Structure 1
Amino acid sequence: MPKKNFYDVLGVSRDASADEIKKSFRKLAQKHHPDAGGDEQKFKEISEAYETLSDPEKRKEYDQVLMFGGIPGADFGGDGGRGRAYTYTDGGFDFSDIFSGFGGGAASAQDDGGFGGFDFSSIFGGGNPGNRVQKGGDLTMSIDVTFEEALTGAQRKVTYRIPSTGEEQSLTVKIPAGAVNGGKLRYRKRGEFGRNGGERGDLVITTRVAEHPVFKRDGADVRMDLPISIYEAALGATVEIPTPEGKTVRLKVPKATQDGKVFRFKDLGAPNVKKKGAKGALYVTVKVEVPTRLSKEERGALEEAQAADHHDYRRDIEKLVKDAAKESKSK
């Protein structure tokens, strides 16, 4: 593969403006800085490219070499990449060594030497990053709760370990009434310890709600399917329905109820965890069950009912079938 030139490294065109070069370098420096988990060699490469292209005189000389087919590398423009050792101090990055050959250390907004006045403090917070105050990271864990506990609320005592110190800490977790599967509980300053006096991170706990054999949660709403027979669907019926709280209500199924019909019971769902005192609804969906086995008496009764049935259930479909047949004959 052909060797990349400095414009390729920064991802800009050869006629890019100084602002475009600076903007591209800033973005790449944030991404590849070793202290942020980036690639050290890549960061060195983009730093060398910016060092040359941000200086009008160096860029002019560089462009002349490119014009004649050359691709100067790290040694272009004086000391280039020589003498720039990457050192780490207490987990931070020492920029004084990186930029020592260009204006005496990392350039700032008040220093137009070296890197064209680029303010590295705007990216990395200024000074030695290893001495910066840093907030600790968040810790995560999950808690399993039953369907009923998620409705009424519950408490759990949990113990977790702080990665940096290995110490165990305990906490009583209050699961709110109406907790949902995948919901987040955030406990401030109970996470990883900060650095250099920084505050602790948070402990984020995810609730995992067990499934119920009948009820399904949909936020604060609760849904359930109600199987009924073809006879109940046709003739109507009154059915007792369980509620999520363990009570019962009566549902009057009207005659000629169709499969998939939904009935709504207001305020019989789960507590709304986002709105104190509010509750969702209970939605009951009718599922008409067709028997797979019939007794002799049932079969006889259904055959008599079918013979007496003069309803046209497929009127529109039959019309299309007849039209298609006529069209076929006319061809």
Structure 2
Amino acid sequence: MVKETKFYDLLDVAPNASEPELKKAYRKKALRLHPDKGGDPELFKEVTHAYEILSDPQKRSLYDARGEAGLSEQGGFGAGMDPQDLFSQLFGGGGGFFGGGGPGRQSGPRRTKDLVHRVHVSLEDLYKGKTTKLALTRNVICVKCKGKGGKEGAVRTCGTCNGRGVKGLGEIINAKDRCTNCKGKKVVPEKKILEVHVNKGMKGGQTVTFNGESDQTPGAEPGDVVIVIEEKPHDRFQRQDNDLITSVEIDLLTALGGGQFAIKHLDDRVLVVTLVPGEIIKDGDLKVIHGQGMPSLRHHEPGDLYVKLAVKFPEYIDPALIHNLEAVLPPRKPMETIHGDVEEVVLAEPEHRRRPDLNDDSMDEDHDEPRVQCGNQ
């Protein structure tokens, strides 16, 4: 039997908990209660002090036998080390938990959690910039009771946990004394409209932060509302940093003899591209139009637009006009000399059900023969 269980209750463990169980319980609670994460600084100190006592076999034995009073009588057992130092020893690194800093850094004021929202934005809006409105619901301090939860003097500290919130919020408000506006919760929901400015050149993953616009709660600073930009896929353009890539199909005559084609840009401008006669465009060629990519976020200097060209061949050519092609195209490659029997054949369209898989890598690359593997002996 132990004289009292206060320290065990703080860690939510049984009095016979093992050292690994104590450490696991403390890590879980300390991460949740750490001031840098919006936890209660005083409760964080108490939990850390409880773990410091129970993790020391000598101190734990004395506490089990005589309680906190017994620790105080021994001298020095009541104070303990700095909670931040003990936390750093267990979790690694020096100083603060999230914000960095040196040993002994004073924790900042308690903050509520940040609210994170994702906004899906088209590539057009990232190119031109846009202001969009975002509706959200957050908790704000009740104006009727000014965040007290009830009328003056109606809120009492919980006698069971002495206000530490071990079994609830640490406070008691009689039902008849609760604020009629917030029902004793101290906060009420509020709808708010935020104007999100999407600047030219922003990228997916970048954020827009509204400081102090997160949930409110008494005794804490409100956190931030963080808007995460998500870039929607585009049907005509791909983006690589500040460059754009698009694919354009041109006919064979334009590829060989020059001509023009158009590209509709993200701001509805139409870029007319001229292919100079005599410049031969091959299927799959990649060209670039300088200065027509995405604007950079800081200086709005544009990247480049890369154009991948696909050449579409005609479905049919009148045999009577072939001589015109022969007059302008390089001569045909002569067929190599053939020795032995000759048999003339024709090409036909393969039946779909018998069409081979040309990507099947079971064919040997050197001999075009099926690969043979040894069976199990």
Name the TM tier (shorter chain): 0.5 to 0.7
Amino acid paired to 1:119? D
1:224 to 226, 240, 246: 246
> 1:49-88 to 2 correspondence within 5 Å?
50-52=55-57, 55=58, 77-80=61-64
Identity, in percent, stands at 20
Could you list the runs of 4 or more consecutive aligned residues of structure 1 that deviate by over 4 angstroms after TM superposition?
42-49, 121-125, 234-237, 298-302, 304-308
TM-score scaled to structure 1, two decimals?
0.56
How far did residue 162 of structure 1 move? 0.6
Candidates 142, 153, 160, aligned match of 2:136: 160
Quick one: distance in 2 between partners of 1:311 and 1:243? Answer: 46
SS in structure 2 of the partner of residue 165 of structure 1: strand
Aligned residue-pair number: 242
| Shift, 1:202, TM fit | 1.2
Question: Contact 2:49 / 2:83 at 8 angstroms: preserved in 1?
Answer: no
Residue aligning to 1:244: 266
1:40-93 per-position Cα deviation (integer Å, ceiling 9, x unaligned): xx99996675121xx5xx7xxxxxxxxxxxxxxxxx72443996xxxxxxxxxx
Aligned-partner Cα distance in 2 for 1:43–1:299 = 94
2:111 maps to 135
Higher RCO, Cα 8 Å, sep 6+: 2
Deviation, 1:28, is 7.5
1:266 paired residue among 282, 285, 290: 290
Q: Which runs of 5+ in 1 are unaligned?
A: 11-24, 59-75, 84-99, 106-110, 126-131, 313-320, 326-331
What's the offset of the Cα at 1:224?
0.6
The separation in 1 between residues aligned to 2:319 and 2:118, in whole angstroms, is 53
Shift of 1:272: 1.3
1:259 Cα offset (Å): 3.3
Residue 278 (1) aligns with residue 301 (2): yes
CA distance in 1, matches of 2:51, 2:334: 79
Alpha-carbon distance, 1:279 to partner: 1.6
Is residue 113 from structure 1 mapped to residue 90 from structure 2 by the alignment?
A: no
Equivalent-residue separation in structure 1 for 2:49 and 2:78 (angstroms): 15
> Does 1:201 find its partner at 2:231?
no
Unaligned runs of 5+ in 2: 1-15, 40-46, 88-95, 97-107, 140-186, 336-363, 369-377
Write the distance in 2 (CA, Å) between the matches of 1:31 and 1:298.
82
Q: Which has the higher helix share?
A: 1
1:157–1:239 distance in 2 versus 1, CA, 3 Å = closer
SS at match of 1:258: coil
By how many angstroms is 1:200 displaced? 2.0
What is the deviation of 1:218?
2.6
